[in-house]
Amino acid sequence: MFKRTRRLRVNENIRSLVRETFVNRMDLIYPIFVIEGENIKEEINSMPGVFRYSVDRLPEIIKEVEEAGIRGVLLFGIPEHKDECGTGAFEDDGIIQRAVRRIKEISDVYVITDVCMCEYTSHGHCGIIEDGYVDNDRTLEYLGKIALSHVKSGADMVAPSDMMDGRIRKIREVLDEAGYVNTPIMAYSAKYSSAFYGPFREAAESAPKFGNRKQYQMDPANIREAMIEIENDILEGADIVMVKPALAYLDVIRWARDKFNVPIAAYNVSGEYSMIKAAAKLGYIDEESAMMETLTSIKRAGADIIITYFALSAIHLIS
């Protein structure tokens, strides 16, 4: 005797009855790039179908997001001026601050802001440089200011992506002191030093001008260390923790899911998106199937939340 497991695969009716994992539109967060200027909606070369919007054109994409039934967006700012200390990141009329206010005027979509300095610093690193090294503790002061200015502008949640030690504690303190005790923090906890961020750095003009990010982002070879990062962030006050990228780190998502009880987010990053787009364009793979297989695998690995540039394309294929 052998077991006929194929019985439960004979048609879509039975396959859907026994299906274990579903991606829902409620799981998805859509990242949006906001750029200085007026009347801009420009496609990002390396990310077909993804655009940079000026603040005045944001309502268009927000309307699309709402119509798609997506509940959350994650904002990235591309400022006009950069300096050594990334001061543009916490200006009252900075790009993100204005973007958040504009979105909040027209929509109640949940607005999350990426808290980092690399788009705002002239050297492109995620913090303050001291003798060629990103100075951890000086950077914390800035991260606190940036997070607070986003929240003051109306951000519902902040997502620090810098990978400095102690940033979650610092940001939590600053927000609490200012009375924002109910504003959650989604920490990019296990953020790896990855080649898959390439298209994003083009999109956000945030590639480091010297060196790389290996002194603060994690070594792709390490998973136990990822658990330490996540544990630290939870102890410091993170409400949601993130693994990033997603696809090459499904095991990290699974370990995190099994070890911790907070919601887990996974970032299906720019390179993962562009890889599928490019291969599909060349006719090497079927875009929709590859997209759904990817999103399903991230969910199956244990992610509660998936941040993905595919959010708007995926909603036609999910419930």
Residues flagged as binding site: 116, 118, 126, 201, 213, 229, 270, 309
For position 29 contacting ligand PBG by CB under 6 A, the verdict is: no
**What's the token pair of residue 45?**
């070369």
Q: How far apart are CA 155 and CA 110, in angstroms?
A: 8
Given a contact cutoff of 8 angstroms between Cβ atoms, the answer to whether 139 and 127 are in contact is yes
Catalytic residue among 170, 191, 277, 299: 191
For position 200 contacting ligand PBG by CB under 6 A, the verdict is: yes
Our CB check for ligand PBG shows the closer of 67 and 294 to be 294
Our CB check for ligand PBG shows the closer of 114 and 233 to be 114
CA–CA–CA angle 214, 216, 217 (5° rounding) = 65
Residue 197 Cβ, how far from ligand PBG at the closest point, in Å?
A: 4
The residue within the footprint of ligand PBG, chosen from 126, 128, 187, 240 (CB under 6 A), is: 126
For position 161 contacting ligand PBG by CB under 6 A, the verdict is: yes
Catalytic residue among 244, 259, 277, 299: 244
Give the length of the chain.
319
Q: Is 214 a catalytic residue?
A: no
Residue 31 Cβ, how far from ligand PBG at the closest point, in Å?
A: 7
Our CB check for ligand PBG shows the closer of 172 and 244 to be 244
- x/- mask, ligand PBG, residues 264-283, rule CB under 6 A, reads -----xx-------------
Annotated binding site for Mg(2+): 229
Q: Is 244 a catalytic residue?
A: yes
Q: How far apart are CA 298 and CA 296, in angstroms?
A: 5
Q: Residue 219 carries which DSSP code?
A: P
User: Site residues (CB under 6 A) for ligand PBG?
Assistant: 114, 116, 118, 126, 161, 197, 200-201, 269-270
